[in-house]
């Protein structure tokens, strides 16, 4: 490696490590969730190998739990695929947010980044993009976050499969509550202004109101309503700020503009 390459390589290494570190607090909340999935697999009719394969290939916590529930209920494969697809539609919103920031990357980067786009990685990466103006090497931060989350999920699935044989009643331990705490921890750092609060309050209220909708469609309704509320308030505040700026502009400047 030449001397000119070293600074770039070192910066990439630092971004990779920073991505993994930023995801550790979210991983802590996901550990019980992964273990719980592993313990539920065999009682739901999925073999230990099938559970590991699902975590390796699908890598989508909530969808994997839904698939297990539908599998144990004897649902048809098209129903399972359609339901998990609807639940994962929120990732389209994540992707739409990230596209402008990764537009410069080649396809060989975009494909694995699409696979690794989870709630936790999106939260960590979005926060990083807000803090740093230079973003051309932040895909290494993304890679560090993704691999940390991915290895944890697969390991916890394997751990859960093993523990499920030793402690068959682990599903009664309330481990699923940890994931709710994790999502709350992901959202709180973004509550910096009134549009953010509006988005969270509206989406939360709509999620409760639409909880009875089939195939978890209420999640998408809640997300769209929250985005609409937050964006509307943001545009309203921006319009008022422009009006106030125009009203306080000195008369001489306005006459010159004419």
- Lowest mean per-residue pLDDT among 55-59, 179-183, 187-191: 179-183
Distance from C-alpha of 28 to C-alpha of 80, rounded to nearest angstrom: 29
Q: List the domain boundaries for the chain.
A: 6-182, 191-247
59 close to 84: Cβ distance less than 8 angstroms: no
Predicted TM-score (pTM) above 0.75? no
Nearest to 54 by CA among 32, 37, 35, 74: 37
Look at residue 2 and tell me whether its pLDDT is greater than 50: no
Q: How far is CA 13 from CA 114, 139, 140, 196, in A?
A: 21, 11, 8, 33
Q: How confident is the model at residue 176, as a pLDDT?
A: 56
Look at residue 216 and tell me whether its pLDDT is greater than 70: no
Q: How confident is the model at residue 234, as a pLDDT?
A: 84
Mean confidence (pLDDT) of the chain: 80
Q: What is the pLDDT of residues 21-78, one digit of tens each?
A: 999 988 887 888 888 888 888 877 888 898 899 999 989 887 888 788 778 777 788 8
Distance from C-alpha of 152 to C-alpha of 140, rounded to nearest angstrom: 18
Q: How confident is the model at residue 186, as a pLDDT?
A: 61
Q: Per-residue confidence at 133, pLDDT binned at 50, 70, 90?
A: low
Q: How confident is the model at residue 149, as a pLDDT?
A: 94
Q: How far is CA 177 from CA 166, 172, 222, in A?
A: 22, 11, 21
Q: Per-residue confidence at 207, pLDDT binned at 50, 70, 90?
A: confident
């Amino acid at each position: 490696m030449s001397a000119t390459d070293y600074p770039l390589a070192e910066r990439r290494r630092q971004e990779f490590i920073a991505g993994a570190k930023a995801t550790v607090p979210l991983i802590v909340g996901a550990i019980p969730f992964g273990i719980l999935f592993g313990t539920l697999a065999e009682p739901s009719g999925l073999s230990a190998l099938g559970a590991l394969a699902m975590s390796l290939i699908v890598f989508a916590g909530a969808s994997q739990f839904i698939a297990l529930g539908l599998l144990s209920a004897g649902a048809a494969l098209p129903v399972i695929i359609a339901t998990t697809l609807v639940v994962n539609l929120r990732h389209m919103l994540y992707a739409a947010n990230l596209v402008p920031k990764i537009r410069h990357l080649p396809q060989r980067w975009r494909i694995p980044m699409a696979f690794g786009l989870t709630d936790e990685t999106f939260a960590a990466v979005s926060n990083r993009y807000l803090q740093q103006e230079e973003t051309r090497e932040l895909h290494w931060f993304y890679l560090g976050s993704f691999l940390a989350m991915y290895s944890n999920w697969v390991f916890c699935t394997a751990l859960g499969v093993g523990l499920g044989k030793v402690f068959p009643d682990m599903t009664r331990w309330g481990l699923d509550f940890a994931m709710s705490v994790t999502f709350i921890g992901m959202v709180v750092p973004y509550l910096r202004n009134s549009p953010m609060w509006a988005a969270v309050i509206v989406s939360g209220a709509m999620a409760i109101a639409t909880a009875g909708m089939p195939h978890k469609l209420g999640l998408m309704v809640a997300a769209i309503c929250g985005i609409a509320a937050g964006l509307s308030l943001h545009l309203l505040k921006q319009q008022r700020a422009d009006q106030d700026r125009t009203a306080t502009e000195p008369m001489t400047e306005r006459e010159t503009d004419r």
